[in-house]
Amino acid sequence: MPESNIFNPGFSIQMTESPMGFIYGTDVFGPEVENRRLDDIRKSLMNPECDGPSTVYTIAMDVGKNTHRQLLNDLHLLYGVVTYAAGKLGKEPIRSQGHIHKVSLYSGWSTPEVYEIWSGEAIIYMQEYAEDEPGRCFAIYAKRGDVVIVPPYWAHATISANPDKPLTFGAWCDRDYGFVYDGVRSHKGIAWFPIFNNENKIEWIANPCYNPSELICKSPENYEKLGIEKGKSIYKIFEDDPDTFLYVPRPQLKEEVWKNFTP
């Protein structure tokens, strides 16, 4: 696989651009992709009437090596892969609309997510609450090979920071995944809107539907307490020690880590 398109995530998969999707290796399972279209996310954009790619991003949930299929089911883990289109949504970057993970029937918790950037440039935006008072707000700038972890119960959105290139990433999720959009949608989006300036650099505009807040822009933490090893893909970490990401479907295993968490 060309290095410019995708890095080695630990299993055989190739991203396609036209149409957006994925080609799985012979030893890899994966579903037909789902597409998210511009009309699906308009209500969460700063300018709902903007122009942009009709297909904003493509999702493949439940991907992995055939030899791990039963193990992933047993551990209640699911690996998802997403590609964002190149381009812009008016002045805004290609992005998801923002959500909170639903409370899982398996654990009784809203679950965390472990992101790994494969290509392009990403900003993982997150805020503690999808309420009038959003709490702490972070914009985590991540590049190829970086890992970003979103803690339980936080509202978050994934943003493509480079309009000239597609963004592709993988993520560990709870198998009982689901998204709650109500709080974000009732505030017409996340607490801080990203927009491109005239130099195609991201700037941030506060969403007036929330109480005033501060946005902290930073690089990812090292997440050593959550099993992340620099230079090693999150799938390879799982393959070498399958219990590493048990805290994704069972967040209570790392309850102390989530208190005052800094992403």
pLDDT tens, position by position, 105-158: 999 999 999 999 999 999 999 999 999 999 999 999 999 999 999 999 999 999
Q: Is 33 a member of any domain?
A: yes
Q: Where are the alpha helices (DSSP H) in the chain?
A: 38-41, 69-75, 182-186, 234-240, 255-258
Q: Is 4 a member of any domain?
A: no
pTM exceeds cut of 0.85? yes
Q: Is 263 a member of any domain?
A: no
* Exposed / middle / buried, residue 255 (Cβ in 10 Å: 0-12, 13-18, 19+): exposed
Q: Is 140 a member of any domain?
A: yes
Q: What is the mean pLDDT of the segment spanning 35-41?
A: 89
Q: Give the Cα separation of 22 and 153 in Å (integer).
A: 30
Is residue 6 over pLDDT 80?
no
Q: How many domains does the chain have?
A: 1
Q: Is 152 a member of any domain?
A: yes
Q: Is 6 a member of any domain?
A: no
Q: Are strands 215-218 and 137-142 parallel, antiparallel or unpaired?
A: parallel
Q: Is 5 a member of any domain?
A: no
Q: Is 3 a member of any domain?
A: no
Average pLDDT, the chain: 95
Range scoring the smallest mean pLDDT among 41-45, 62-66, 114-118, 239-243: 41-45
Range of 217's domain?
Answer: 13-258
Is residue 84 over pLDDT 80?
yes
CATH of the domain at 140: 2.60.120.10
Cβ atoms of 152 and 109 within 8 Å: the answer is: yes
Is residue 174 over pLDDT 70?
yes
Cβ atoms of 47 and 54 within 8 Å: the answer is: no
